[in-house]
Structure 1
């Protein structure tokens, strides 16, 4: 056999061998040679909501908290939002109606969902006058939360998602929600609340990530702060067991967990505010340290505010209220 023929035979055998290897590998992973050439634009992409996996971008952790607030313990109300099991966190459970939560989640708004409030307020105490609490005082209280068991998104992801009323169609499409759905209505209301004009002396911000939540409060109250939340407790009669203790005055920030597909907090700093800790003992013996906020000047509040209807007063006097168990209070 000539050298030329030997070279040709060797080339043929090498090509055949490579072809067999390629075919075997392709079949092993479930791909044929014909599918390898399919154009990329014909392959359906997964929904955007399902693409945020830990391998793509890490969920937030307590690391950023302690980098900005090295001397402030992470409050329990935030701990569960950073658990691995809560990520990814796009869920529609935020639309589940929690009658008890409806009654108190609007304390940060100028107005209230009056129908829900009227049906749930008469038999429980949320608002009270400044001098109402003293040792021995009895009241029926329901410590609620926002009803939203959703966690934080990474800041980079959260900032890529619109959060304005003029982008509602885009937001609903992003979450694959129907325009007339219950979830869509709740999201419109929450975003709308963030865009309402500030009350006199109020500085507010809706934080869509853990990092932006921390940044807003540190920029206004600095790093030497305490962050508190009310301990959860069931609805029953409670007795004030000791003197109310003031833990912050003049300036405080309150951050309310909103009803949204991922963790968003409505934060506002209001002057003439006092934060108190109220020691309570329930009828069953359970002890609860409740955090309350007193607004010392309500003259700028809407006359329609439910607090005035419940307390039967006009704007002006100091009004205090208990906080949800997932509401955060920041005090210098």
Structure 2
């Protein structure tokens, strides 16, 4: 064998050996990495907050539908948060948590006026909200008036589901077992009880002069209000503010009279709003200055005729009056109020 052939064979041998060693090392490294990742994944606890239940081909709602239906109405901050990807989870199994039990009771009384006063409810309110202005009468607000106010909210950090997904999920009392199964909730859990209560409130009979609807998507929320008040509307919410003593700093400004739609954010696994249009309703904007100098533009609703309310409603207990006279209250910071603009003719 010639020297050239011997060198060629020797070179081929070393190339083959080098390739074998490189492949073996890579395989070993890949195996170790794979094992390490698998062990780490097993140790990661399942999140209580589920980011999304959405099919990959369905996108979350955006401002596009709002702009198409309400081109001259800015999207309020209270709704903008519910559309920001990643700001809130789409689905949340911790929606039943509340730090202040009285806030839950107060929201129920503000939303549903047929509800009757319970002795334990007033005890809870008095202990959690001492010396707070809960309800007030029509003539109580004037410059210089002082009051302690707590701007409560639903406490539910969830976002909207796409309409197609929301409408595929049952929402009725007779479907509660299916709803609990969908969200993997125990039948006797606190979350299950909250779901029953919230759906039950949606199914209560309407009061005289009231239309109500529970909107399970951004699109249905917009449709309900536009169909009743038109497209030429203002949509407002109360700015957040700490519980403290506030002083009415200027004259109260009426921004809507006779008819308004109020949409309260509900405690639910995803964004649902309890909306109702109530006749003989006045909406006012109240400029407040807190003891610490904080300025808040609070939105308040006055129900001018309370004769259809339950005589045992806590508002009458607090104000020491009987059904009939006007009763007012501030709106929660994540509640929306829709009022027709006065300067232009409404469009359906």
2:156 to 123, 142, 148: 148
Cα distance in 2 for residues equivalent to 1:222 and 1:158: 24
CA positional deviation for 1:76: 0.5
Whether the 8 Å contact between 2:54 and 2:165 is mirrored in structure 1 is: no
Root-mean-square deviation (CA), in Å?
1.7
Name the SS for the 2:140 alignment partner: coil
Whether the 8 Å contact between 2:261 and 2:278 is mirrored in structure 1 is: yes
Cα distance in 2 for residues equivalent to 1:113 and 1:331: 30
Name the SS for the 1:211 alignment partner: helix
| Alignment correspondent of 1:119 | 124
Segments of 5+ residues of structure 1 without an aligned counterpart are 1-48
Question: What TM-score do the two structures reach when normalised by structure 1?
Answer: 0.83
Cα distance in 1 for residues equivalent to 2:124 and 2:331: 19
Residue by residue, what CA displacement relative to the aligned partner does 1:82-117 show, whole Å, maximum 9, x if unpaired?
A: 010046511122110231532431201122684345
Q: Does 1:246 align with 2:254?
A: yes
Classify 1:236/1:50 alpha carbon distance in 2 versus 1 (closer, same or farther; 3 Å): closer
| Alignment correspondent of 1:108 | 111
Cα distance in 1 for residues equivalent to 2:74 and 2:269: 27
Residue by residue, what CA displacement relative to the aligned partner does 1:185-221 show, whole Å, maximum 9, x if unpaired?
A: 0000000000000011000000000000000000000
Classify 1:219/1:123 alpha carbon distance in 2 versus 1 (closer, same or farther; 3 Å): same
Q: Is 234-243 or 100-109 further displaced after alignment?
A: 100-109
Cα distance in 2 for residues equivalent to 1:284 and 1:155: 43
Name the SS for the 1:279 alignment partner: strand
- Counterparts of 1:1-332 in structure 2 under 5 Å? 52-53=53-54, 55-86=56-87, 88-99=89-100, 101-106=103-108, 107-109=110-112, 110-111=114-115, 114=118, 115-120=120-125, 121-332=129-340
Name the SS for the 2:338 alignment partner: strand
Say how many residue pairs are matched: 285
Cα distance in 1 for residues equivalent to 2:98 and 2:251: 36
| Alignment correspondent of 1:7 | none
Name the SS for the 1:173 alignment partner: helix
CA positional deviation for 1:56: 2.7
Question: What TM-score do the two structures reach when normalised by structure 2?
Answer: 0.79
